[in-house]
Amino acid sequence: MELQFGKTMLSCLDTAVQEVQNSEQTQQIGLPDGMPDIGRILSAWGQTILRGKEWRGDSIAFSGGMMVWVLYTPEDGTEARCIDAWIPFQMKWDLPAGTPEGSIRIQCLPRFVDARSVSARKIMVRAGVAALGMALAPREIEVFAPDSVPEGVELLRSVYPVRLPKEAGEKTFLQDEELILPDSAPQPEKLIYYRLNPKVTDKKVLSNKIVFRGNTNLHVLYRSEEGQLHSWDFEVPFSQYADLNEEHSTDAQTDILLSPTSLELELDDEGHLRFKSGVVAQYLITDKALLEVIEDAYSPGRELALQSESLELPAVLETRRENLYGEQSIPGEANVAADVTFLPDFPRQRRTETGVEMELPGVFQVLYYGEDGALRSGSAHWEGKHSLNADETSEFLAIPMPGEAQAAAGSGNILVKVEFPMEVTAATSRGIPMVTGLNLGEPRQANPERPSLILRRAGEKRLWDLAKASGSTVEAIRKANNLQDEPAPNQMLLIPVG
């Protein structure tokens, strides 16, 4: 006799693509009329901008680019000059065949910007970008359960609290602020370069909307009225909300990636700074669900044939922020540091016996005045490590963010340090056994020589395993031994059979 199983559907989002790509572009920049010839390239910086995302059916893609600035000392020995340019980038990730259209999340990091002069009037710039592309597709998970259970059939019902990705979207917002330096700071006469680092400090899901707030850190390098280069960091607060497509429980959480979509900074003749930017907040909502499945079944008195499968779920274990530290020495006789930056890259992951080891690459850049008063620059690669304890079924997504870098002049070296956050999401690929069908066979022939009571010592096996192996039931063993839960280790058990 075949038992009929019904199906219920559990909706969630599944990760179709989650991959980091690296891309490099070169571009030749000519000096405009009025700028002096190039003597020596000092330094170069970049700011990634996300312009657009597209779901193309068989792939996802993003378009954007890098704002770049190149600082050089002129051949005529006058003060350092800066030239800027735009380098476009495009990337594409292939999707598995048959992936239904869903949501895209993109996170870009500037890996490096190099510049060299090819003539007195031309600069060759090489820029590198790392982009994490994520495609989240809707998925309906089939959960099976019998419509009715005949007498004499034992079912192992298990309930799993799981956190599943439920909804993804984005909210774009603009910032337009007048920035004021304190009176104690040197006042700006000329902008050199600037970069943007928006951060979320608080976020919450409220039924059918999310609210989040944070600060946009704007780092500015400028020439003061006295002719020296100085850097300053402005914190521009923001507070936003976004409407969601469905209502979520009080256990719902959100993960938000912030990416600049535009950036402008203007300095007027009176020394006032005007800052404008666009930012896209790409959110992912996860929520708890109680998943009830039939993991196993048997009949003490009849043959039973099972159809089963492993239920694979895109379950999220946790999302947390790790604060990481790095330091490096750069050779140089420095009098004072004018600017220091740190460019983190996406970590490489290596599986170990106890979990995963993250290899964290990055680049320090420092601009400083030497003891002779000349402006100089230096850079150094940094490689850090960070270990995460986990079993072999756990998978990690780690996204580093630009951090606060500092530089201190020493004897023959410049010590650069950074503290930067990394968002770590842990997920699991462990499958859940699920019975999808039952065939109940003929009654077994009773063995007249078999005792009606067995004495057995409890070990590592569950009551379910003991009952199934002996042809008893969990309820009968509990009643015979006055048990509420699992037995104590090495406890002697009376097992009624027959």
Question: Are 367 and 379 contacting, i.e. CB atoms less than 8 angstroms apart?
Answer: no
pLDDT at site 449: 67
Residue 498: pLDDT band with limits 50, 70, 90? low
> Tokens at residue 113, please?
């910007």
With tokens 């995963």, the residue in question is 356
- Of all residues in the chain, what percent carry a pLDDT higher than 70? 99
Angle at 321 between CA 330 and CA 211, to 5 degrees: 125
Q: Work out the burial of residue 195: count CB atoms within 10 Å of its CB; fewer than 13 is exposed, 13-18 middle, 19 or more buried.
A: buried
For residue range 294-308, list pLDDT tens digits in order.
999 999 888 889 999
For residue range 219-239, list pLDDT tens digits in order.
999 999 899 999 999 999 999
The amino acid present at 489, given as its one-letter code, is P
Say if residue 430's pLDDT is above 70.
yes
- Sign of torsion, CA 258 287 241 245? positive
For residue range 245-257, list pLDDT tens digits in order.
999 999 999 999 9
CB atoms within 10 A of CB 252: 20
Question: Which residues pair with residue 154 across a beta bridge?
Answer: 298
Question: Are 143 and 313 contacting, i.e. CB atoms less than 8 angstroms apart?
Answer: no
Phi/psi at 154 (5° precision): -100, 130
Interatomic CA distance for residues 189 and 269, integer angstroms? 8
Say if residue 1's pLDDT is above 90.
no
For residue range 73-102, list pLDDT tens digits in order.
999 999 999 999 999 999 999 999 999 999
pLDDT at site 271: 80
Question: Are 35 and 81 contacting, i.e. CB atoms less than 8 angstroms apart?
Answer: yes
Mean of per-residue pLDDT scores for the chain: 93
pLDDT at site 148: 87
Residue 326: pLDDT band with limits 50, 70, 90? very high
pLDDT at site 130: 97
Interatomic CA distance for residues 471 and 495, integer angstroms? 9
Question: Are 240 and 213 contacting, i.e. CB atoms less than 8 angstroms apart?
Answer: yes
Say if residue 411's pLDDT is above 90.
no
> Tokens at residue 386, please?
């960070």
Say if residue 444's pLDDT is above 80.
no
For residue range 343-394, list pLDDT tens digits in order.
999 999 999 988 999 999 999 999 999 988 999 999 999 999 999 998 888 8
Tell me, letter by letter, the H, E, C secondary structure of the chain. CEECEEEEEEEEEEEEEEEEEEEEEEEEEECCCCCCCEEEEEEEEEEEEEEEEEECCCEEEEEEEEEEEEEEEECCCCCCEEEEEEEEEEEEEECCCCCCCCEEEEEEEEEEEEEEEEECCEEEEEEEEEEEEEEEEEEEEEEEEECCCCCCCEEEEEEEEEEEEEEEEEEEEEEEEEECCCCCCCCEEEEEEEEEEEEEEEEEEECCEEEEEEEEEEEEEEEECCCCEEEEEEEEEEEEEEECCCCCCCCCEEEEEEEEEEEEEEECCCCCEEEEEEEEEEEEEEEEEEEEEEEEEECCCEEEEEEEEEECCCEEEEEEEEEEEEEEEEECCEEEEEEEEEEECCCEEEECCCEEEEEEEEEEEEEEEECCCCEEEEEEEEEEEEEEECCCCEEEEEEECCCEEEEEECCCEEEEEEEEEEEEEEEECCCEEEEEEEEEEEECCCCCCCCCEEEEECCCCCHHHHHHHHCCCHHHHHHHHCCCCCCCCCCEEEEECC
- State the average pLDDT over residues 396-422: 91
pLDDT at site 246: 95
pLDDT at site 41: 97
- Statement: 450-498 belongs to CATH 3.10.350: yes
pLDDT at site 443: 82
For residue range 457-489, list pLDDT tens digits in order.
888 889 999 999 888 999 999 999 999 999 988
> Tokens at residue 350, please?
């290596």
C-alpha pair distances (Å), 496 with each of 110, 455, 462, 473, 478: 69, 9, 16, 8, 10
Nearest CA to 55 out of 20, 109, 99, 11 is that of: 99
Say if residue 213's pLDDT is above 70.
yes
Task: Give the neighbor-by-neighbor strand order of the sheet with 253-267.
Answer: 154-179, 273-298, 253-267
The amino acid present at 418, given as its one-letter code, is V
- State the average pLDDT over residues 24-30: 96
pLDDT at site 252: 97
pLDDT at site 67: 98
pLDDT at site 2: 79
Question: Are 423 and 403 contacting, i.e. CB atoms less than 8 angstroms apart?
Answer: no
Q: What is the dihedral of CA 180, 185, 189, 190, to 10 degrees?
A: -80
pLDDT at site 429: 76
From the centroid of its chain, how far is CA 250? 23
For residue range 38-52, list pLDDT tens digits in order.
999 999 999 999 999
Which residue ranges make up each domain of the chain? 450-498
CB atoms within 10 A of CB 359: 13
The amino acid present at 245, given as its one-letter code, is N
For residue range 151-196, list pLDDT tens digits in order.
889 999 999 999 999 999 999 999 999 999 998 899 999 999 999 9
> Tokens at residue 85, please?
């340019």
Say if residue 454's pLDDT is above 90.
no
